Amino acid sequence: MFSDNTLAKRIESAQAQNQIDYAQAHQDIQLNSPYTALRLGNGAALFAGIESPLTQSFGLGFGDEMHESDIETLEEFFFSRAAAANIEVSNLSAMSLTAILGKRGYIVCEYSHVLGLDMRAYHPASLPALPVLQLDRTEVPTAATAIAAGFLEHNVGESEIPEDFQEMFVVSMNTHGSSAFAVTVDGEIAGAGGMTLVDGIAMLSGASTQPKYRNRGIQKALITERLRFAREAGCDIAVVSTQPGTVSQCNMQAMGFGILYARTKFYKAAPQS
């Protein structure tokens, strides 16, 4: 695939729509914490709690020209909720956006890569080595607990999982177009992962394995099954975001994914009251 502004805009627009859908899913399953989203041009921002890694924006800098007043609107959305402004910017978006952020005192706090796989040319070499189950909605909370434990580097039951952290995965696997998949060992969810389909794009996310079940091929099985599902659903591209130079990026490239573009996260602290 050739990565250009058109492809990046399509992917970033899907990510922005997922932000809107995330807030709606949170409302639909009637959780108590305050989640809300803001549509801003081609992009969107999500507030999912002051400390949540999901509290940020995507998709800005494509389409209509960005103005400083747009960033002021975004800052009001975050700052009025006592949250810092975190803005993910694609390196294929308009340079005017980066200039505005620099002018307004933003600092760079994170880099990431967006990797993609052309599903039209994807043909898995074999079925997953381990059976992978597609979960129904009633099984999502259990899967979310296993995913959260994996990210926290412990096994289910070893220590308490923060409620808001587990909730983050519950909501993500209940958004429009999302599905959850898991591998079980001796009746326990050993590893699980989600995927969201938006506009023909399969966005892989939220996968982890409990430490005691690692090095058994669980992640590879989860990736293979999600890609199979996406291909049968008619998606023409699968994407995933990783930090540069990590084991996660290496694993995705080994599965055939290639780097499409980079993102830079810009940060500005909320004003002290």
| 228/204 Cα distance (integer angstroms) | 12
Per residue, the 3-state secondary structure of 208-247, as one string, reads EECHHHCCCCHHHHHHHHHHHHHHHCCCCEEEEEECCCCH
Distance of alpha carbon 167 from alpha carbon 144, whole angstroms: 8
Specify whether 97 is located in the same domain as 201. no
Do 125 and 239 lie in one domain? The reply is yes
> Can you give the residue range of the structural domain that contains 48?
5-113+262-268
Please state, rounded to an integer, the average pLDDT across all residues of the chain: 93
Alpha-carbon dihedral 95, 91, 202, 227, rounded to 10 degrees? 170
Q: If residue 137 lies in a helix (H) or strand (E), which one and from where to where?
A: none
Residue 201 belongs to a domain with what CATH number? 3.40.630.30
pTM of structure: 0.92
Same domain, 145 and 247: yes
* Better pLDDT: 82 or 163: 82
Cβ-contact 181, 146 below 8 angstroms: no
For residues 171-209, one letter each, b for 16 or more C-beta atoms within 10 angstroms of the residue's C-beta and e for the rest, the string is bbbbbebbbbbbbbeeeebbbbbbbbbbeebbbbbbbbb
13 and 124 fall within a common domain:
no
pLDDT in tens, 84-106: 999 999 999 999 999 999 999 99
Q: Are residues 96 and 184 in the same domain?
A: no
- Asked whether residue 73 falls in the same domain as residue 106, the answer is yes
Q: What does the pLDDT read at residue 28?
A: 87
Residue recorded with tokens 């108590």? 32
Distance CA 56, CA 109 (A): 12
Name the domain count of the chain: 2
pLDDT band at 63 (very low <50, low <70, confident <90, very high): confident
Strands 188-198 and 56-58: unpaired
User: Is 142 found in the same domain as 239?
Assistant: yes
Decide if 273 is inside a domain: no
- DSSP H or E segment with residue 160: none
pLDDT at 121 over 80: yes
- For residue 145, the Cα-to-chain-centroid distance in whole angstroms is 17
